[in-house]
Each structure stands twice: as C-alpha cells, then as structure tokens.
Structure 1
Amino acid sequence: MPAEPGRADGLRLALTTFTTAPVRAGRIDRAVAGRAMALAPLVGALLGAALAGVLLLSAAFAPPLVAAGMTVGCAALATRGLHLDGLADTVDALGSYRRGTAALEIMKKPDVGPFGVVALVLVLLLQTAALAELAGRSWPAALAGVVAASAAGRLAVAFACRRGVPAARPDGLGALVAGTVGPVALVAGTVAVALAAVPAVPGRPWQGPLAVLAALAVAVGLLRHVVRRLGGVTGDVLGAGVELVTTLVYLGVVLSG
C-alpha cells in the first residue's frame, strides 16, 4: 500500500532537513514537521549505514585514522555542515554569558567566535579518533556503532522538539518544529536506537544501549540550560544536539570496548 500523504511528507522533510538527499519537498506545516522530527532517528540510521560503509571500505586501503577523517568529512558533506555550524553558534551564545535576545543575536552572526572554534575542533577530533578505533573492530561492531551514534544524534533533535519545549524565536526552523513530538514517538525512537547499539560492543551487549541512554541524558540536561538561557530552541540548538550526542555515543562505544 502507498504511504499516507502526511507520512510521506514527513519523511521527505526529514530527509531534506538532515541530509543533502535530492528529495522534492512536499507539504510543510507543523503536523508534517512533527512527523519529520519523529522520523529523524530513522534518517540518522540510514545516514549512519552509509557512513559506516565509507569507514569500512576506506579502512581496507588506508590507515584507520585516514579512513576516519574521510568518514567525518563525508558526514559534514552529507549534512551541508549545518549541524556543525549550529554547534559553533550555540556554544558561542552560551559562552557569551548573555541571555535571551542578546544571546540569539550572537547566534545569528556569520562569524565563529573562539568558543565555537574550540567546540568544532574538539568534536571533530573526538569523532575522528573514535571512528579510527571503530575501524579496527569487526564490521558488525563498526556498523552498529556508527549507525547507533548517527541515529542517536537525530533522536536528540526529537527530544529537543518534544511537547512543552518552546521556540526561542517566532520564526525559523525552531518555531516550526518546537513542541511537535509526542511521548510515544520518543519512547519508540529510544528503544529502537538502543537496540541498534547492542552489537556495537561485542561481548557486552548492554554497553552500547547504555552509551545511547547516557548521551541522551546529557543532551536533555543541557537542553534545559539552553532553554533557560535562550528562551527556547532554535535550528542551531538542534544542530548542536546532533553533534553532541553523536560524539558522546562514539566515545561511550569505543571506551566500553
């Protein structure tokens, strides 16, 4: 049976929001946005599978660190670097110690401040180092680790868009998606991503899911702080959540092995 129009529109919006997939946009409203954010972990899993393929194939003819660097580069290209940009802008705003509109103005500036630069360098280094470690493991473990990390990063967006979390601005991506994801989608997404992480640490099936849950807990705690400082979420905050949780899951998986 063909997909329901609303679900198809939600999947298209999720693909165009989280990847550079050449998909034609469909209807866009808050209902569709809610479906898209609920489907974000699925898009992350698909992206993670592709990135795991890059990692494993390149590791067959290049040193692990080079293969990891190529994978991180492909991840940035596949997402237009938007999540990294969101991370830098969010950290710059938080590092300014300003609140509300003043902090939001910092996030809108096109330049990257020192806090943002440090955050970008640290995240990219940690992701590269973790992927280099995963490249040396069995392919099922490497595949599960990359898929779980990528899916968990997008699941963090769903948590940031859960009901009760406001938007910081009256326009933009944050205003469209804030408060659109219900508890059922969050529970289902969490269970699915945790299960996907089971093979990531061979011999210790509980440590992959634990890494996912711990990373999400950190993201939820940080989100509360961001909402207090900014008044709500923005597109940049969502991007920062993707990179933060992806990195934390990578670290949790490789440190557990």
Structure 2
Amino acid sequence: MLKSLRLAISFLTIFPVYQERAESQELGRSVSYYPLVGLLLGALVAGLCYGLHRLGLTLAGDGLVVVALVVLTGGLHMDGLMDTADGLFSGRNLEQKLAIMKDSRVGAMGVMAFATVLLLKTVFLYELSMGLKLTALILAPAAGRWAMVYGIIRFPYARQEGLGGSLAQAGRCQLAVASLILLAAALWLAGPAGLGIAAFVLLGTLATTRFISKCIGGMTGDTYGATGELIEVWTILIILIGQQTAFL
C-alpha cells in the first residue's frame, strides 16, 4: 500500500517520494490511491487558505490557493486541460484532434479553458463560508482524482502509445478502493449530505468522460487531467449550491 501511495504522490504532485523505476502493473495499482493524494493536496491548500484569511486576505487568498494547487501538481492536470480543449474544439477529424493534443504548443482554446477554470474556482470559493470553503478545498481535489480513476478504468485508451496507457493495468478493484476513499471523505467532511455530493460528482464524471470519449474514441493522459480539473470545479459548485439552498 505505502509503495503504491508513494508512487501516486510522485506521479500526481511535485513531491518525489518514489524514485525507483515503476512498471506498468505498479502504476495500475497506484491508481487506487489517487483520491487519497487529492485529500492530501486539499489539506495542504486548505491550511494555506485558513492562514491567508487569518491575515485578512479574502479574494486574494482564494486566488492564491487556486494557484498553489496548480503549483503543487506541477501544472500536470492544467496542461492536460489546455491540450484537451485545443484538440476537442479544433473542429478537425479524430487523428488531427489527437495530434493537436500531443502538440506542446498551446492554442486559443487551451488558454481560454485555463483562464476559465482558474476564474471559476476562485469565484466559487470566494462565495463560500469559511467552513464550507475548507470542505471544498479538501474534497474537490479528491473528487477530481476519483474522476480520473473512473476515466482510466471505464474507457479505452485512445492512443497507441503514451504513459497514460500504462495506467490501463488498473481495474475494478482499483476503482472500488478509490470510490470507498472518496465516499468516506465526503461523509467525514459533509456528513449525510456527503452522499448527495458524491452522487453529483458521479453524474458530472459520467457526463464529462462520455463526452470526451465520444469525441476522440476513448481517453488519453491529457483528458484524464482535464477531467480532474473540470470535476474539481463541478464539486466546488455543488458545495456552493448546497450552501445557497441550505442543503449544507
């Protein structure tokens, strides 16, 4: 377990706690702990948020926290979001979409997707009370990484090669473990309402992954990252709606 967790941390963050060469099977097993890595990241940025608000930074504090989350992940998922936006909305055929997504250059759609996600995360967080803000900061990264696990396991890999293809070794067991971690976190952070949050996370994940898969015939490493970022935004929005409707 600890070996798989260390590998997941190294793969998804800037913390190099796993330095050995990982085989495909090891990468597949580590997928189970992606939501746990999300919880750890969330705890770090939640602590930062609390400290910044204690210093009197409100909107600025929320913006810095969103940027910190990008930094802690090495921009990995945001890069995937930008590449995915460029490819999916290029209006080209399947092969050209995949080629655009593989291109390291960022286009207009990628820049717009990047800016939109950063802006939405910041303004949604700003509208939350401190208690729910901290809940969202901890839970959203876990939900985003659970959505990545779902995409990895439930959809075929759309490329013939690529690091993301190594994750295809993961199976239903990894999805079950990841789901239990997310559900436990939701119940712990939000009580019974956590079940509702988890249900809406599932709905958002289904819609996102099916749309992407329909566009390019499966998922890629870039679309895993894009899915994670979009579900983070979706989770924060769910919590905001819960606050505004007195559900939370």
Answer whether TM exceeds 0.5 for this pair.
yes
1:146 matched to 2:137? The reply is yes
| Native 8 Å contact 1:88 1:116 kept in 2 | yes
Query: Number of aligned pairs?
Result: 243
Aligned mates of 1:211, 1:113 — CA distance in 2: 34
1:166 pairs with 131, 137, 156, which one?
A: 156
**Where does 1:3-152 land on structure 2 (aligned, <5 Å)?**
7-134=1-128, 136-138=129-131, 141-152=132-143
> Match for residue 215 of structure 2?
229
> Match for residue 4 of structure 1?
none
> Match for residue 147 of structure 2?
156
Aligned mates of 2:232, 2:17 — CA distance in 1: 24
Identity of aligned residues (%): 35
Cα deviation, residue 206, structure 1: 4.0
Give the unaligned 5+ runs of structure 2: 244-248
Give the unaligned 5+ runs of structure 1: 1-6
| Native 8 Å contact 1:151 1:193 kept in 2 | yes
Cα deviation, residue 27, structure 1: 4.0
1:109-135 Cα shifts (integer Å, max 9, x gaps): 22222222222121111111122234x
| Native 8 Å contact 1:9 1:27 kept in 2 | no
Cα deviation, residue 181, structure 1: 2.8
Larger RCO (alpha carbons 8 Å, 6+ apart): 2
| Native 8 Å contact 2:31 2:174 kept in 1 | no
Cα deviation, residue 242, structure 1: 1.0
| Native 8 Å contact 2:77 2:226 kept in 1 | yes
Runs of 4+ in 1 over 4 A off after TM superposition: none
Cα deviation, residue 20, structure 1: 0.4
TM-score normalized with structure 2 length: 0.89
Distance 1:190 1:142, change over 3 A: same
> Match for residue 219 of structure 1?
205
1:38-84 Cα shifts (integer Å, max 9, x gaps): 11011111111001001111111133211101101111110111111
